[in-house]
Each structure stands twice: as C-alpha cells, then as structure tokens.
Amino acid sequence: MQSSSSRSLIQRVGPIISARIRYNSRLLSSTSSSAYVVKETSPSSSFTQDEEYVQLSDNCVKRMKQLQADEAKEKMLRLSIEAGGCSGFQYNFALEEKPNNDDRIFERDGVKLVVDTISLGFVKGATVDYVEELIRSGFQVAENPSAVGGCSCKSSFMVK
C-alpha cells in the first residue's frame, strides 16, 4: 500500500516540480536578448541531432497554415514536455502568439514551432507531424531519437 501512495504522491508532485524548473529556467535566461530562431529552407535539409533541431512534417505545415488562415494574428505551435502520461513524460501542444525569452523557434515555410530549452533536451532531433485518424486527429511527435518507448497513442514516452 505504501508503494501506491508514494506513486500517487510522485504523480501529483511531478508536474509541479517540472513547471517550477521551467519557471526558474526562464528567470535565469531572461537576460538573453530574445528567442533563438532556426529556419529550415527545405523539407529535405539534413540536420543532425547535435544541432538540436526539431523538424516539421509536410502535414504539420499544411495544418498550421489552415489554422492560421482562420486567425487574425499569426499563431505558433508550442511543443512542451511535462511529467506524466503512461510512460513517464508526455508531449503537450498549444497555439501561442509570441515566444518566451528561453524558447527556440524552428521555422519551415512560414510555420513556426516553439520549444522551450528544457523541453528541447527531450525532443532534440524529433519530427512533429499532424495525423488524422478515425478516433482523433492532432499534432504528435512522429519520431523522437531521445525516446526509447511510449504508449500506443504516441502522447507519452520514456527517455533514453
């Protein structure tokens, strides 16, 4: 019984600690001038994992352009990592209007993906895709070299 109560405590405290780490990281990097922007010139560009690059698939770019057509202001897709999910960490996607100081911005064909520096360590070299299935549609990380496994819904993962 103690193991289940300690697990539930870890599940409750994990997201709080993760959010606090992100907050502290933003405070520490607030002296930096602005977000760092990386542009991908073509879908076939070859970037290595060491370059800390996150790629956008054709479907991702297409869907973001559709979403931006309905908006008055340009939106960016934010990818962040949170503690939780069935495999330990989970991907979180959101639309935002402006980046934070500690963000890296990856751009392809005018579509921008924003990743904070802490989350970037978990998705370095990954590919973000947009998938339409019978039961759901949404953005997901299709390939992540930093992950060793995950759940079948591809919303959570385990790190190497």
Q: What is the DSSP string of 90-139?
A: EEEEEEESS--TTEEEEEETTEEEEEEHHHHHHHTT-EEEEEE-SS-EEE
CB 129 within 8 A of CB 140: yes
User: What are the contacts of 21-25 at 24+ separation with CB within 8 A?
Assistant: 21/118, 22/80, 22/116, 22/118, 25/102, 25/116, 25/117, 25/118
pLDDT at residue number 160: 65
How many other C-beta atoms lie within 10 A of the C-beta of residue 104? 20
Alpha carbons 104 and 19: distance in angstroms, whole number? 18
Output the tens digit of pLDDT for each of the chain's 160 residues.
Answer: 555 555 666 667 677 676 666 656 555 554 343 455 555 444 444 444 445 689 999 999 999 999 988 888 889 999 998 887 666 788 899 999 999 988 999 999 999 999 999 889 888 888 999 999 888 889 988 888 877 665 655 565 656 6
pLDDT at residue number 42: 41
pLDDT at residue number 2: 54
Q: How far apart are the first and last CA of the chain?
A: 29
> Homologous superfamily of 55-159 in CATH?
HesB-like domain (2.60.300.12)
Domain ranges in the chain are 55-159
SS3 assignment, position 68: helix
How many other C-beta atoms lie within 10 A of the C-beta of residue 107? 17
Q: Which amino acid is at 118?
A: I
pLDDT at residue number 95: 92
pLDDT at residue number 106: 94
pLDDT at residue number 62: 94
Alpha carbons 2 and 64: distance in angstroms, whole number? 46
